[in-house]
Amino acid sequence: MASVRPARRILLLFTAVYANGGIQRFNQTFIAAMASLGVQCDVLSMHDTDASIGSRGRGPNLHAIGFSGSRVRFACAAMRAVWSRKYDWVLIGHINLLTLVMAVIATQPLMRARTVLIAHGIEVWYRIPRMRRQALRRVDSILCVSAYTRSRVLDQTPGLPPERLKIFPNALGDTWTQASPSALPRSLPQRYILSVTRLEVGDRYKGIVSVIEALSMTEDASLQYIIVGEGSDRPFLQWVAARFNVGERVHFWSGVTDPELTGLYTRCQAFVLPSGKEGFGIVFLEAMFFGAPVIAAAEKGALDVVRDNETGLLVPFGDCIALKRAVDRICSDDVLRERLRKAGRSTVTGDGAFTFARFVERSAQVLEIARVAAA
């Protein structure tokens, strides 16, 4: 048995929480970790609405407020909260909020709250403006979701003490992983590979075009490809599939629920997302949890999640030939597929590095919440 000595209160400043997306899921997991540790949380979310927050943003130790995208109202509320001096920690969930918060804190020289910034991915990889670099040097701790993100922040911010930057990987929230596979409303191909991603023009780095081209070269001409996601780039991707003569083998699914998604993960031959710009890649953990062997690009944050030939297969970004070989290898080798399934799942279950329990432990260390043995 162990007891927890909680911090008195933490202010969480987020761009969004209660929506789909990697950053939003990270924020949800962090709030759940705070609840597990018994920390009093006040959450200000710029883009959430009262409807999106609903009952999820209310609890004994949680009070969340949404500002429906109003930067002015969010900024005023953040200033009032910081000036109240009632928090032990102020956590800044996105670098876009950093300059505002640190400017407010600079007006309160006697404020005792310590500051933490979450650095996710592409938003801190390139051309951090001078004012933000100055603000970064004043933050007490910077939590980087991957080693690549940490290196990019250090490269751009000379004089920033490296010990302030901690690698703080994401994890699967304990509630989402309780979802059970449901009966799918659409018929499934007998054998298929799977991708789950946004389908916007700006997200072409996810590598869906490369997967379609690799599919057209696979040895098994009956292998199908299911893409779960929505976005304006879908017509272009359908055109690409037709151009490679695999239009009838590529299926676009939207409006998929979490239970339906778990069913897709469970039954697929492999989960394939050879993205070149993943800050971390929470979707890889979701696939691993439900037993899908993973194929990813050997790039950025994916390197922290997928170990080549151990918990998945890594291929060079944009290399369709290597991707085709990886797909053929997994789909034709039952022993390899099962080994990758088991090894991948071990990282998100039990004592695995990406479990919710480990995430809670990391959160307790950051907030210096001491766990002491109970009598």
Q: What does the H/E/C string look like for 248-287?
A: CCEEEECCCCHHHHHHHHHHCCEEEECCCCCCCCHHHHHH
Q: What is the pLDDT of residue 187?
A: 80
pTM beyond cutoff 0.85? yes
* Model confidence pLDDT, tens digit, residues 40-51: 999 999 999 999
Domain count for the chain, please give it.
2
pLDDT-derived band at 375, boundaries 50, 70, 90: very low
Q: Looking at the structure, do residues 30 and 103 belong to the same domain, yes or no?
A: yes
Confidence bin at 12 (pLDDT 50/70/90):
very high
Judgement on whether residues 13 and 115 belong to the same structural domain of the protein: yes
Write the burial class of residue 302 (CB in 10 Å: 0-12 exposed, 13-18 middle, 19+ buried): buried
**The CATH number of the domain where 139 resides is what?**
3.40.50.2000
In this structure, the answer to whether residues 121 and 42 fall within a common structural domain is: yes
Do residues 221 and 278 both lie within one domain?
Answer: yes
Do residue 63 and residue 25 come from a single domain? yes
Same structural domain, 93 and 195? no
Residues 150 and 199 occupy one common structural domain: no
**Phi and psi torsions of 314, nearest 5°:** -110, 140
Does one domain contain both 165 and 21? yes
pLDDT digits (tens, 9 = 90+) for 257-286: 888 888 899 999 999 999 999 988 889 999
pLDDT of residue 372: 41
List the domain range (segments joined by +) for residue 19.
Answer: 2-171+355-373
Task: State the helix-helix crossing angle for 208-217 and 320-332, rounded to 10 degrees.
Answer: 60
Give exposure, 132-170, as e/b (b: 16+ Cβ within 10 Å).
beebbeebebbbbbbebbbebbbebbeebeeebbeebbb
**Does 64 share its domain with 155?**
yes
Q: Are residues 366 and 309 in the same domain?
A: no
pLDDT for 373 equals 36
Residues 20 and 148 in one domain: yes
What is d(CA 88, CA 368) in angstroms, rounded to the nearest whole number?
11
Q: State the distance between the two ends of the chain, measured CA to CA, in whole angstroms.
A: 8
pLDDT tens across 151-179, in order?
999 999 999 999 999 999 999 876 655 66
